[in-house]
Amino acid sequence: MKKGRSEATTGVASAPTSAVIPVVGKTSKLRSLYKFSPEIKKKTPEKGVTFSEAGVKRPKITVKSTDTAAQDAAKAAEAQRKVEEDRKREEEKKRVVEEKRKKEEERKKVEEERKKKEEEERKQRAEQERLAEVARKQALEKELSAKKAMDQPLKPPGPEVTKPTNTGPVTTSKGSSRFSSSGASSGGAGGYNPNVIGAKDTVGDIYYKTYTEEERGDAPHQAPWSLKQKDTFIEFSPAREWFLNSFTPAEVHRQRAKPHEMLYRTYILGEANARAANHQIVREWRTMVRECADWEAYRERMLKRIAEFEKSKTAFGEERAKFEADKKAEEWGREGLQKKLHNVEEQLAKEKAEFKRICAQDNDRAYALRQKIVDLEAKVADLTSKVEEAQGERAAKQQMEVELTEAKVQLSNKDKDLHARDVEIAELKRRLNEQIDRCESLEIDLEAEKVKAADAEEARAVSTAALNVAQTNYSETQGIVDTLVSEAEWMRTRGVVLVANSILNASELDRAVAALTDAARAVGHRGGYLECADHVEQMLGQEFDISHCSVTEHADAALASAESSYDNLSLPIMELVVESLKKDDWCQRLKAVLDPPVTVELSDEEPVGDDGGDGDDDGDDDDGEDDGNDDDGDDRRDE
């Protein structure tokens, strides 16, 4: 409380008036502090003080000594000195408090500047990270687009052999309809109808639909693929040929293992079964293309999910920064409210102490005034008795009248002083009521500030709980996403490669393809034999005996059985893969199935680095069939 609000100078208390808002429905107990002595309550009126002039019946006059006036002056000077010292002490305290406040403001200002700098640096780092992430995404998109462009089917190559001049298509009357020449249906020798080829046909489709024996002439058959056994998907070219209708490596391995005579025989027999082989290759290629399309769609979905996760991660970072800013604002507001509450409490305590001090001073002054009035009444009574006793003394009558006149003048002056004191007491009562009302208002403000502080503390607790829940959810989501990303990366780099290599190196697939090739070769041989017999009959004009054909009439049934076996082929590795994909830990199961740890034990007879074979067949199979078990171990070790 400022010193200017209450100062005692020359026995008079003065305080500036302030507008106080009246409070309805609340009373204070501070009114009980203002209590006068019983004697003052008894003799002092409530509204004002009135004195009746003493009777002039028998006045008695006494003269006041100068010692009492000197004592009063000394007391007034001492009181003035104490008031001045109190004022100086209050000013010193205010100066110290002001210096502390300025230092605190400077410290807060420096702290705010530091926080602003840290916030700016954090925003700059976040912006740099965002730009780096955008650049990385753009580079990844460019790489994906480049890979997609490279994966697009190439333009079908032109014919490598000059078309011979044919007089017309050669057809057979006894051959199967599925092996008849496609030249007649395509509009002549070497030509084809463009409407037959679809807009989305690839190299394999065009090659299969436009290839005819009449176009090739005497040139050896050359397929548009070059995939070999033991090729892996780590290199780009074998992978691309696999997805663009590549031939199975079992046939390549079989052809490489044959001697010259068998190769010559295979060349002769291959002329008859080229269409059957091409048809089967196209069927396999179409299946692979569909699987590749499914994998590309899965990859696009994963990229989209990763992008959505990045967006949600960025939004979560922004919400978290906003939450931190709101939290800091709440903390600063709470500190301000606490400081304001402390200041209000200090001010209220000071005002209460000052109010008590003023009440005590007023009580002392009123009691002193009442004592003086009582003394004056006693003096008036003494003077009256003296006047009654001195009636007989004529010589001193004039002197006594003069003294009585002076006493009356003094009494009138005292009455004026008492009236002024009554006015001061009324003013003090008014100020006391104002102070009481102001204290009540401050109490109400204090209660409101306490309620606000409690609400702020509750809001902070709720915000802290929400932050903990958000951090827990973020940790769980981050763990799930990291697991999905690692599994997708393994599936992209190793999983697809291992699945494809397991299918390529499956012994069941080799045996099925070998059986199908042999059956198709037999059917082609019989068809060629019958076609040649037909030509002989046309040229010689007599029936040709076809009973000497080495292939029986059951070749077509054997081929149909081989095709059915190949179409319904079930690979154990694919069953394991399908069962693994149905589980939650599918990635670990696929790793255990496709990529188990390999332990190699070396014996004394086996030298280090010798894999036990060169990857080729021994070349002693006259029938062109492979046992299907020689290179399986090598293939799996190459993986």
Within 10 Å of residue 383's Cβ, how many Cβ atoms? 21
What is the pLDDT, as a whole number, of residue 266? 66
> For residues 585 and 22, which has the higher predicted lDDT (pLDDT)?
585
Amino acid at 43: K
Q: Which residues pair with 9 in a beta bridge?
A: 12
Q: Which residue carries 């006894």 as its tokens?
A: 174
pLDDT for 166: 38
- 357-361, 418-422, 550-554, 592-596, range with greatest mean pLDDT: 357-361
Task: Note the pLDDT of residue 171.
Answer: 35
Average pLDDT, the chain: 71
Question: Please, which pLDDT band fits residue 427 given cuts at 50, 70 and 90?
Answer: confident
C-beta of residue 7 within 8 angstroms of C-beta of residue 14: yes
Contact 353, 391 (CB under 8 A): no
CB–CB of 8/361 below 8 Å?
yes
The DSSP 8-state label assigned to residue 608 in this structure reads T
pLDDT for 149 equals 57
Task: Provide the 10 A C-beta neighbour count for residue 148.
Answer: 10
Residues 6+ apart with CB under 8 A from 411: 53, 54, 376, 380
Which one has a higher pLDDT value, 574 or 549?
Answer: 574
What is the CA 407 to chain-centroid distance, rounded? Answer: 96
In this predicted model, what pLDDT tens digit does every residue of 386-415 receive, in sequence order?
777 766 676 666 777 788 888 888 888 888
Q: What pLDDT is recorded for position 561?
A: 86
Q: Taking CA 73 as the corner, what is the angle to CA 67 and CA 75, rounded to the nearest 5 degrees?
A: 100
Residue type present at position 268: I
Say what the alpha-carbon torsion angle 272, 277, 282, 284 is, to the nearest 10 degrees.
Answer: 170
Spatial CA neighbour of 251 closest among 629, 631, 635, 626: 626
Query: pLDDT tier at 273 (50, 70, 90 boundaries)?
Result: low
Angle between helices 555-567 and 507-540 (to 10 degrees): 150
Contact 631, 615 (CB under 8 A): yes
What is the arithmetic mean of pLDDT over 112-134? Answer: 87
597 contacts: CB under 8 Å, gap ≥ 6: none
- pLDDT for 617 beyond 80: no
Lowest mean pLDDT among 39-43, 163-167, 324-328, 537-541: 163-167
Higher pLDDT, 595 or 180: 595
Radius of gyration of the chain (CA): 59
Closest C-alpha to 279, from 201, 227, 205, 172: 205
Q: Is the pLDDT of residue 50 over 60?
A: no
- What pLDDT shows up at residue 232? 52
Which residue type sits at 122?
R
- What's the pLDDT band for 626 if we cut at 50, 70, 90? very low
**Phi, psi of 627, deg, nearest 5:** -75, -15
Confidence of residue 146 (pLDDT cuts 50, 70, 90): low
Whether 190 contacts 219, CB under 8 Å: no
> How far is it, in rounded angstroms, from Cα 94 to Cα 346?
13
Could you identify the residue written with the tokens 């002549």?
188
Residue 601 vs residue 158, higher pLDDT: 601
- The domains of the chain are located at 79-118
Q: Are 354 and 1 in contact (CB under 8 A)?
A: yes
Instruction: Please give the biggest Cα pair distance in the chain.
Output: 204
